[in-house]
Structure 1
């Protein structure tokens, strides 16, 4: 279980990337492949920058811009595509399985994604927002859209203007927290209560960093997440 009382590690404090670096943090996306795979399954087409370019450097800022759109079912599909493509990166492992299952659960997925988006923009606890997409056993309610990708969707659903309180989580982050706060975290199955504790810890570390005399600015919570992600 996560130790919410763990203090901010000094190596994380001294490797904060800054908010601009967070927003510029990106991956290469094969947009042409995404368009082809979506067309095969008669799924809604991509909009925005992934609609016209073949190879795209997709940054966090780009995905946040989707999260800032009007909250509709159509835009929820776009936020799903963008957050998933950002999370999968250039290799897009098992994309056909993911989209096959998404297509077969399209109506249910649309409702779940829109509900999760609304929750991310509200004052609900991380546990409640995460529970919309993830069961109490840590399974994704949308097949092949597991907890790690659910956290990315929720993170970007907050939009660029908000101080993020729902933070991306994956196996690398969990492993990099093992020695400080999460000794049994090397897994990719996280129940809602654990995700809530993780978000609380990241927020507390951001507050602690903001109060440190060597920093002298307000630290975003996703700065802590990116520093943990890059931890050697």
Structure 2
């Protein structure tokens, strides 16, 4: 279990990337491939930059801008596409399997995504928002879209203006937290209670960094997340 009382590691404190670097953090996306795969399954078309460009460097800011849109079922599909393409990166592993399952559960998925988006923009606890997309056993409620995807969708659903409280989690972060705060970390299945503790830890470490005399600014929780991701 995650130790929420663990202190901020010094190596993380001294490697904070800054909020601008977080927003500019991008991945290469083959938008043309995404458009083709969506069309094969008669899924809603992409909008925005993934519609107009073939090869894209998709940044966190780009995805947050989708999260700032009006919360509708149509826009929930776009937030799903953008957060998933950012999370999967250039290799997009098993994309056809993922989209096949998404297409076969389209109506249910639409309701779940919109509910999760609304929860992310409310004052609900991380555990409750996460539970909309993930079962108590750590399985995705949308087949082939497990906890790692859920954390990214919720993270970007908060929009660019909010100080994020729902933070992205993946296997690299789990591994890199093992030495300080999560000795028994699992790398692929996280239950709602664990995600709640993880978000609390990231927020507390951000607060601790903000109060450090060597920093002299407000640190966002996703700065901590990115520093942990890049940890050697």
Secondary structure of the corresponding residue to residue 57 of structure 1 = strand
What is the deviation of 1:186?
3.4
Secondary structure of the corresponding residue to residue 15 of structure 1 = coil
Work out whether residues 18 and 219 of structure 1, in 8 Å CA contact, stay in contact via their aligned partners in 2.
Answer: yes
Q: Deviations over 1:177-223 (max 9, x none)?
A: 00000011132100000000000000000000000000000000000
Q: Deviations over 1:146-198 (max 9, x none)?
A: 00010000000000000000000000000000000001113210000000000
Query: What corresponds to 1:145 in structure 2?
Result: 145
Work out whether residues 148 and 168 of structure 1, in 8 Å CA contact, stay in contact via their aligned partners in 2.
Answer: yes
In structure 2, C-alpha distance between the alignment counterparts of 1:136 and 1:187, rounded to whole Å: 17
TM-score by structure 1 length?
1.00
> Which residues of structure 1 form unaligned runs of 5+?
none
Name whichever of 185-194 and 15-24 sits farther off: 185-194
Secondary structure of the corresponding residue to residue 198 of structure 2 = helix
Secondary structure of the corresponding residue to residue 56 of structure 2 = strand
Work out whether residues 178 and 186 of structure 1, in 8 Å CA contact, stay in contact via their aligned partners in 2.
Answer: no
In structure 2, C-alpha distance between the alignment counterparts of 1:22 and 1:187, rounded to whole Å: 23
Q: CA RMSD in A?
A: 0.4
Q: Deviations over 1:79-132 (max 9, x none)?
A: 000000000000000000000000000000000000000000000000000000
Q: Which runs of 4+ in 1 moved over 4 A?
A: none
Secondary structure of the corresponding residue to residue 193 of structure 2 = helix
What is the deviation of 1:47?
0.1
In structure 2, C-alpha distance between the alignment counterparts of 1:136 and 1:186, rounded to whole Å: 15
Secondary structure of the corresponding residue to residue 27 of structure 2 = strand
What is the deviation of 1:58?
0.1
Query: What corresponds to 2:168 in structure 1?
Result: 168
TM-score by structure 2 length?
1.00
Query: What corresponds to 1:30 in structure 2?
Result: 30
Q: How many residues align?
A: 232
1:50-199 matched pairs, under 5 angstroms: 50-199=50-199
Q: Deviations over 1:20-45 (max 9, x none)?
A: 00000000000000000000000000
